[in-house]
Structure 1
Amino acid sequence: MALRGTWGAAKSTAMALHSLVTTRFPQDAIEIIGFASTAQVLKPSTLAELSVDTLQGTNLQHGLMLARRFLARHHDAEPVVLVVTDGEPTAHLEDDGTPFFCWPPMPETIARTVAEVERVARSGATVNVFALDPDPGLVHFVHDLTERAGGRVFTPDSDRLGEFVVADYLRSRRGRRSR
């Protein structure tokens, strides 16, 4: 996200959404997962201090793995995964857990990411993606992912990311209450 200048918008959006959920909707469960060459669960205090300078890669496969584990611990919740990205997957985990990075994206990285989104979808989760780069490769890729997971694609300017993410979260909450 450093390359395209979207890090600040993604970081502030994640922190704002976390604050909204924990204060206004404490019955909901939320977890922030950051992904670079590997993915990790981020506490808001950790995220606030995290610098983009040390991050490389887009390991969406690992991020989705962690999201699926989180959803499994909250099986009674409405499973929604919100992904904010500005690039196609450029990293994946090898079978032994070692991260592999390559630009341009390797077919194996794409295949492992697609397989993981299909696992997320089979768990009953919807995956909505906020694509911060209009690159045709990214747009095609995220449309394929959301089609597999019954989700939607949003392509906001980074300065409107927070607005889009919060609106989608609130829309999904309204949908839950009407069921």
Structure 2
Amino acid sequence: MIGFRFSKFKPGPEQRSPFDRLLNLFLQLLTYTAGDANEALQWMNELDREHGLTDNEYSMGDFVEDLKRKGYLRDDTNGGLVMTPKAEQSIRKSALEEVFGKLRRSAPGRHSTRFTGIGEEPTGDLREYRFGDTADQISMTESIRNAQINHGLLDFHLMEDDLEVSEREHQSQTSTVLMIDISHSMILYGEDRITPAKKVAMALAELIRIRFPKDTLDVIVFGDDAWPISVKDLPYLQVGPYHTNTPAGLELAMDLLRRRKNPNKQIFMITDGKPSCMRVGDRLYKNSFGLDRRIVNKCLTLASNCKRLRIPITTFMVAEDPYLRSFIHEFSEANGGKAFYTSLKGLGQFVLEDFERNRVRRR
């Protein structure tokens, strides 16, 4: 008898509803249009005319109505459509599946370390009770057994010396600052580098929210200056006519991390270019050619300061310029951090791999 073989059910395209098939494409377009729902729908209509995305049973008008009915879009005061918070979260989840899909299923879901302490995963080892141990760490079975042996069944007492504690793997927290370059070079020469950077940022934010809720993530963008943005604003992020003020981004990242009590801190920087400006007093010192020694030295000084504060910087370069590689090598050496020179397609995997390693650091 051959029997039956069971496997995980994976619905094919024909088994998904028309709405679900169109929703994934719509979420992708929202990322490219920086959250402009009306422009994304225009692209949907154009693709529908060219490739027949819909049919007589389910039209693009039905899709738009379903988006509104299910809470992805709402009418604005100008007569157009805007995204809702549900749509913003769906974009982050979609980015998480796309960028970290292959690695997400094997993620441990916590910061495992080589230390014992407060955590959820028991090691199997027992020890005596110590002042400061919490009640949920006490192994009641072993403690009651010790009380019976030490005091007998007729005169049962549970004393402090009877208590045994179940050891657990220590689980640490990590504070991360993600720096995103929004200078003009991120879309220069017709190459879109900002969209993959946004996808990585949204995926990282969603990964932390789902798997590591006790961690902190601050997102900052840097162009002529640097400023923090909220996670919900990531889909709307756009490149501006800016130079690359890397020193301002590093100074803001360090300032944010100083406020965190957590000893485990790190900076991720996604950029495609060389630093080309810095703040000098009240004015902006610029050099559009980049790698100005004055600006470079400022970046190296900040990298060294981060090293003294035990803040590693991991740089992800989405460009293949040998001069840039030389600068990043010098920058990473000054900080003692890491640098990856990767294509846009592989950016997400590198972020997750290095994030998983850095997170287990413990002072």
Question: What SS class does the counterpart of residue 159 from structure 1 fall into?
Answer: coil
Structure 1 residue 118 and structure 2 residue 304: aligned? yes
Structure 1 residue 176 and structure 2 residue 361: aligned? yes
Partner of 2:211: 24
Could you tell me which of 162, 172, 193 is aligned with 1:6? 193
**Which structure is larger by alpha-carbon Rg, 1 or 2?**
2
Root-mean-square deviation (CA), in Å? 1.6
Determine which structure has greater relative contact order: mean sequence separation of CA pairs < 8 Å that are 6+ residues apart, divided by chain length: 1
> How many residue pairs align between the two structures?
175
Partner of 2:285: 100
Aligned AA for 1:48?
P
1:9-158 matches, within 5 Å, as 9-52=196-239, 54-96=240-282, 98-105=283-290, 106-158=292-344
Q: With structure 1 as the length reference, what TM-score do the two structures score?
A: 0.90
Could you list the structure 1 runs, at least 4 aligned residues long, displaced by more than 3 angstroms after superposition.
none
1:127 Cα deviation from its structure 2 partner: 0.9
Tell me the distance in 2 between the aligned counterparts of 1:44 and 1:22.
11
**Higher helix share goes to which structure?**
1
Tell me the distance in 2 between the aligned counterparts of 1:55 and 1:13.
22
1:154 Cα deviation from its structure 2 partner: 0.6
Tell me the distance in 2 between the aligned counterparts of 1:83 and 1:127.
7
1:102 Cα deviation from its structure 2 partner: 2.0
CA contact 2:198–2:237 (8 Å) conserved in 1: no
CA contact 2:307–2:336 (8 Å) conserved in 1: yes
- Residue by residue over 1:102-154, the C-alpha shift from the partner in whole angstroms, topping out at 9 and shown as x without a partner, is 21122221122222222222211111111111101111111111111111111
5+ residue gaps in structure 1? none
Q: With structure 2 as the length reference, what TM-score do the two structures score?
A: 0.46
1:99 Cα deviation from its structure 2 partner: 3.0
Question: What SS class does the counterpart of residue 351 from structure 2 fall into?
Answer: helix
